[in-house]
Amino acid sequence: MRLVMKFGGVSLANGVKIKAVADLIKSVKDTVKEQVIVTSALFDVTDILHEIAPRVVKEGKVEQVKEFVQGFRTMHEIVASEAIADEQILRVVKGELREQMEYLEKALIGICLLGELTARSCDYIVSFGERLAAPILAGTLQSIGIDAVHLTGGEAGIITNDDFGNAQVIAGAEDRIRARIMPLLKDNKVPVVCGYIGETKEGIITTTGRGGSDYTATLIGAAIGADETWLWKETEGIMSADPEIIKDARKIPYISYMEAMELSYFGASVLHPRAIEPVIEKKVPIRVKNLQMPEDAGTLIAEEPEQTDKAAKAITIIENASIVNIAGTAVKSISELAARIFSVLAMERVDIIMISHGSSERTVSIVINSAELKRAINAIQSINTSGTVIRDFTSNSNVCAMGVVGAGMAGTPGVAGKIFSALGNEGVSMIMISQGSSEYNISFVVKKEDAYRAAQAIHDMFEMGK
């Protein structure tokens, strides 16, 4: 059997936990001969790097950089010392950490002196999270007798475009991944690959977006024809709803690629949105496994079964959503208005969660992440400088977007009706609704104060928790 396993989050919070991860890898190795490990940064480290970079640019103090790197280095060294018992291996790992720290310090001093942080330098700086974690995990594995070698994303063949902060893998990467990984497996080695980061053809470091280690793992899984890709998390698996909000939320044992993709795009933070793409064609199942219950089967993400037991399997809530209503004036058609709006939003990289329109009034409503609202408003306002196109526009951030997901909804009459009556019973009114043509997802918008009640009512109505 051939397996790709990804670790991240709290499981990499300290040396004791990393040792536990290594022991888990070893116990899986008893039955699974070929394993590739993908690692995220140590817990919280990516956030820390994302925070320090703009701060040193703003404050411009080289002393501050030195102090930061000192603390950062000590923290990583402590973790390594806790995880690695073998003195000699520990010494080698500490040497590797020191070398990486020098590069990190140079980069931070560079942006500090220049007073400028580009997307490209930001990716370079945050990539150190994974580049420091991989030697520690590989060293920990070596110290318990596993022949582990660590690789950056680029070294593992993850070649991307230069869309810094959100890079995508380019054609040909698969062959390269195979060429880099397979010889190591043949040699009985366990590759420990940095998740989240890749490299352009020219060798410039990129990142694939927050939570991108999932994507790294499934890319490798697809490229090397793994039997399965396991994403180890702190949750039971993929849940029917957020258990902190919804009573009776439960683990979904089996979910199709398409359903999982809908969920990850619609606010369920359990998976990186692009993580499903690489494995669909190759049909490599993904398993979301719980670190607290390693024996549990977790959630299996695979092909659509012939029959699904439930019409709707899960409900998600995007809490920080804003709705923007735009009314056109001197436009000939809704298409013209929409074209102008979407092109400026695309230019500003505002992601649209939902769209709807009313043709008679020439209005378009979009739902976006509230964090992007300011950018969106500026972009939409800019349309008017080239003639009067927009008569009026309003926005409302006191809303939540919700998504109901399930392949069984396709072609099943009455699903929307059930959603309406669940909301009606609760006295919740719907502000906007849309359904994709796949019919795998019905999404709608309600007032913020109604959201949890609405979600619970729908979860109950479709018996998602049973």
Stretch that binds Mg ion, among 35-43, 55-63, 77-85, 335-343 (CB under 5 A): 35-43
CB of 379 to Mg ion, least distance (A): 30
Any idea what DSSP says for residue 349? Answer: T
Give the one residue of 15, 157, 211, 403 binding ligand ASP; rule: CB under 6 A.
211
Binding-site residue total for Mg ion (CB under 5 A)? 3
Contact between 210 and ligand ASP by CB under 6 A: the answer reads yes
When the beta carbons of 6 and 362 are compared against ligand ASP, the nearer one is 6
Stretch that binds ligand ASP, among 38-46, 257-265, 394-402, 455-463 (CB under 6 A): 38-46
Distance CA 291, CA 235 (A): 8
Binders in 118-147 for ligand ASP, by CB under 6 A: 129
Binding-site residue total for ligand ASP (CB under 6 A)? 11
Binders in 4-33 for ligand ASP, by CB under 6 A: 8
Stretch that binds ligand ASP, among 81-89, 208-216, 425-433, 442-450 (CB under 6 A): 208-216
CB atoms under 10 Å from CB of 295, counted, come to 7
CB of 227 to ligand ASP, least distance (A): 22
Task: Enumerate the β-bridge partners of residue 159.
Answer: 199
When the beta carbons of 126 and 311 are compared against ligand ASP, the nearer one is 126
CB of 133 to ligand ASP, least distance (A): 8
Check the CA dihedral 181-185-187-190 and report its sign. Answer: positive
Give the one residue of 39, 40, 208, 216 binding Mg ion; rule: CB under 5 A.
40
211 binds, among ligand ASP, Mg ion, none (CB under 5 to 8 A by kind): ligand ASP
Give the one residue of 206, 213, 308, 441 binding ligand ASP; rule: CB under 6 A.
213
When the beta carbons of 46 and 229 are compared against ligand ASP, the nearer one is 46
Contact between 308 and ligand ASP by CB under 6 A: the answer reads no
Residues of 18-56 as b/e, b for ≥16 C-beta within 10 angstroms? bbbbbebbeeebeebebbbbbbbbbbebbebbeebbebb
Stretch (H or E) spanning 381: helix 373-383
178 binds, among Mg ion, ligand ASP, none (CB under 5 to 8 A by kind): none
Distance CA 309, CA 305 (A): 10
195 binds, among Mg ion, ligand ASP, none (CB under 5 to 8 A by kind): ligand ASP
3-state secondary structure 382-435: HHHHHCCCEEEEEEEEEEEEEEEECHHHCCCCCHHHHHHHHHHHCCCCCCEEEE
Give the one residue of 139, 157, 195, 221 binding ligand ASP; rule: CB under 6 A.
195
Stretch (H or E) spanning 364: strand 363-369
- Of 162, 88, 61, 84, nearest to 119 (Cα)? 162
When the beta carbons of 215 and 257 are compared against Mg ion, the nearer one is 215
Stretch that binds Mg ion, among 36-44, 236-244, 277-285, 342-350 (CB under 5 A): 36-44
Distance CA 105, CA 124 (A): 12
| Lookup: tokens for 63 | 């002393």
Binders in 68-127 for ligand ASP, by CB under 6 A: none
When the beta carbons of 15 and 212 are compared against ligand ASP, the nearer one is 212
Contact between 212 and ligand ASP by CB under 6 A: the answer reads yes
Give the one residue of 11, 39, 46, 325 binding ligand ASP; rule: CB under 6 A.
46
CB of 9 to Mg ion, least distance (A): 6
Give the one residue of 11, 39, 46, 218 binding Mg ion; rule: CB under 5 A.
46
Stretch that binds Mg ion, among 16-24, 32-40, 201-209, 430-438 (CB under 5 A): 32-40
Check the CA dihedral 285-405-214-278 and report its sign. Answer: positive
Stretch (H or E) spanning 142: helix 128-143
When the beta carbons of 40 and 365 are compared against ligand ASP, the nearer one is 40
Give the one residue of 35, 40, 325, 370 binding ligand ASP; rule: CB under 6 A.
40
φ, ψ of residue 238 in degrees (nearest 5): -85, 130
Distance CA 9, CA 269 (A): 13
Show the beta-strand stretches assigned E in 111-265. Answer: 148-151, 190-194, 197-199, 205-207, 228-233, 254-256
- Cβ neighbours of residue 151 under 8 Å, at least 6 residues apart? 134, 180, 191, 192, 193, 194
DSSP 262-324: HHHHTT-TTS-TTSSHHHHHHT--EEEEETT-TTS--EEEESPPS--S-S--EEEEEEEEEEE
φ, ψ of residue 229 in degrees (nearest 5): -120, 125
Q: List residues near ligand ASP by CB under 6 A.
A: 8, 40-41, 46, 129, 195-196, 210-213
Binding site for Mg ion (CB under 5 A): 40-41, 46
